[in-house]
Amino acid sequence: MTTVAQAGALEAPAAGPAPITEPGIYEMTNETYHSHRYALSSSGARKLLPPSCPAIFRYEQDNPQPVKKVWDIGNAAHKLVLGNGPELRLVDYERWDTKVAKAEVAEARAAGAIPLKRAEYDQVHDMADALRRHPVASLLFDPEHGKPEQSLFWRDEKTGVMRRARLDWLPNPRSGRLIIPDYKTCRSANPEKLEKDIEEYGYHQQDDWYRSACHALDIADDQAAFVFVCQEKAAPYVITVIEVNATARRIGAARNRRALETFAHCTATGYWPGYSDDVVPLSLPGWAETRDSLEYL
């Protein structure tokens, strides 16, 4: 049975939110969602494995990164596309290095808003307009047929680890094949470039993670599709909708299983290792070894 709850019922006093133990769909802010660090997320699972390591995962969990300007365009576009998220605040000065402009930017950040320059403000609105004109993407994020930013919690049967996922969009139940979209901003929506992004950013792991959440909570069956709506951040804001193939999903599932086992072991032992605890024998890069062997040996 799927539980649907409001975040307010889960929040504890100043110590932070009470742990969620019941699987379900929960309504909560993005900040509250990320504060449930005992539950492993898709991004956390990716951070546990190479090219990262458990020590880096643990440090970043205990020391959340400050807001970075580079995230603003993507976060602002999410707000307009999904219809949910922080306020977009126009800081309409030609220069942001003046005392007045800096004060307005700081005030916006303190209020949880996203401060944007005029060009950025126009940019994200143009991106949202382009998406609404796209024949597929516009249907996937139709506000009449779904809800934005739903937080899913469930327990992994094999390890007992509590897992979490925050869907960009959860379609309303309906007949036919369920299609769950995730919105990504990118430098290039060229399919050849996106193929590399799947590996670099672990989209195949995210695909499996979110499918697992939907299966565990009886939201979707094995026929459901999970797609990424990828939009370029430069005009004309081209959009490509992609679906990760079965082989990549199997690899993503195997990586997620390894991450869950690693998380469970590290949590039980209290030890979060780095890249290796042993002496690591290394060689020159292959190209350098070939070059220098020909020249010097």
Instruction: Note whether 202 and 196 are within 8 A (CB).
Output: no
Which residues, in sequence order, are CB contacts of 119 under 8 Å at separation 6+? none
What domains are defined for the chain? 24-267 (3.90.320.10)
The residues that bridge with 40 in the sheet, in sequence order, are: 163
Model pLDDT for residues 82-111, shown as the tens digit of each residue: 999 899 999 988 889 898 988 999 999 999
Residue 172's closest CA among 195, 201, 141? Answer: 141
Residues of the chain with pLDDT below 70 are 1-16
Average pLDDT of the residues of the chain: 92
What confidence tens digit (pLDDT) does each residue in 244-265 have? 999 999 999 999 999 999 999 9
Q: What is the pLDDT of residue 176?
A: 76
H/E stretch holding 291 reads helix 286-296
pLDDT value at residue 95: 87
pLDDT of residue 16: 62
pLDDT given for residue 223 in this prediction: 86
